[in-house]
Structure 1
Amino acid sequence: MISIKNVTKNYYLGKTIVPAIRGINLQIEQGEFVSIAGSSGSGKSTLLQLIGCLDYPTSGEVWILDKKVSDLREKELNRIRSNTIGFIFQSFNLIPVLNVYENVELPLLIMKDVSSSERKERVNHFIQEVGLSGQIKHKPSELSGGQRQRVAIARALVTKPKLVLADEPTANLDFGTGMEIVELMQEINRREKTTFIFSTHDPKVMQKAHRIFHLQDGLIESEDVS
């Protein structure tokens, strides 16, 4: 499903080149539950951004579902992001003035091929999937951190993506709540066959993954298989 071939990514601070990714190769298959692990500055968030078509590599190739996305223009990348990839962020990124239903519905409003009845069915289905049917009219300020992340998961899934990327999804949660969130993603991965790739620096969270890629200084240092 995903193929990363000899990928590098440099950032520039004035005349200084800062290498974030320094030559990575990896393959991820459909339906996997994968962790990208590493300390702050290891390159894991940059790698997720490249897989998520949010940035271009400096060199190398990024392939998603047999498409070389590293060569595509922004309009084509927008289509892939909308139809193929769901995103979960550590800061939740919910709209404060919208309730749970409206936040989850948001990505579907730009999908012209989804009817209003199907949109309603999908939103209610995934709100139920994450266990928030009782909070459907609540605003983000009325929810706990764990509940907000559940809303973010439902929003990521409502477009029925083949791939979900989660950047430090437990970072702003206490350990118990964080484990509940990872277990919820794991259950959805099993049931829906959605591919999940999540970044983390928490060893206990890593243990839930099928495979763990350990990044250090922009390189894959090792790979563990559970």
Structure 2
Amino acid sequence: MTQTTVQPTILLIPGHWLGAWAWDDVRASLESAGARAVAMTLPGLDPDDPQRAARTLDDQVVAILDALARNGVSAGEPAIVVAHSGANLPVTLVLDRHPELVRRMVWVDSGPVAAGSAFAPDLPQDVRDLPLPPFDVLAQQASLEGLSSEALDRFRARAVPEPGPVLRQTVELGDDARTRIPTSLVCCSIPSAQVLDLAREGHPMFAEVANLEHLDVVDLPTGHWPMWSRARELAEVIRSAASRMR
């Protein structure tokens, strides 16, 4: 990968139902440590966008590339990209199409997806979007450990339904260079030892992890939303990852 002495841009990308606001505490901690941190809202998750429910993964890829370009990222000055949860599909596409723009990838309770993946391929075509489910239902899918009542209230108040096209679209990949990007897995709701075992076993959720050539794993035990439950510690993990050349 290209090396640079310039402080790299750290681009923070939130998962489903979330906007840039979800990273506020992490971004503030990174900036207080002197890092160049930028958070973005993916297309389809801006509540003021009248066409948001029609946005696609391709729209999200374009937006990520635009965010990188606006912040001076290039092949000569690649970024640290941090992706949480369901941001893994558009980010995997970015890594496949433009691996030269990413100096290090940091997956937060997430990971790269394999070719042919879709988040919800069987979601009926007439489902326009998918709202944040009740928390008792959500807790069966992802750990809410560490979230205060205030954090849950904010989550509920600010969550934006996930666009149907984003959930249904299949990821098509073609450049193995993405597997050579130095990568950090921040394991929160599932311990790293279990994640690596599942990757070796070819579990669909983690199979692509086994293909990564330069991988570090970090355990940050908490629930699926560490940007709220352990924001300061997560910021330090990201800052440390950003300082590595490999």
Q: How does the TM-score come out when normalised to structure 1?
A: 0.32
- In proportion to residue count, which structure has more strand? 1
Q: How does the TM-score come out when normalised to structure 2?
A: 0.30
Higher relative contact order (CA 8 A, sep 6+): 1
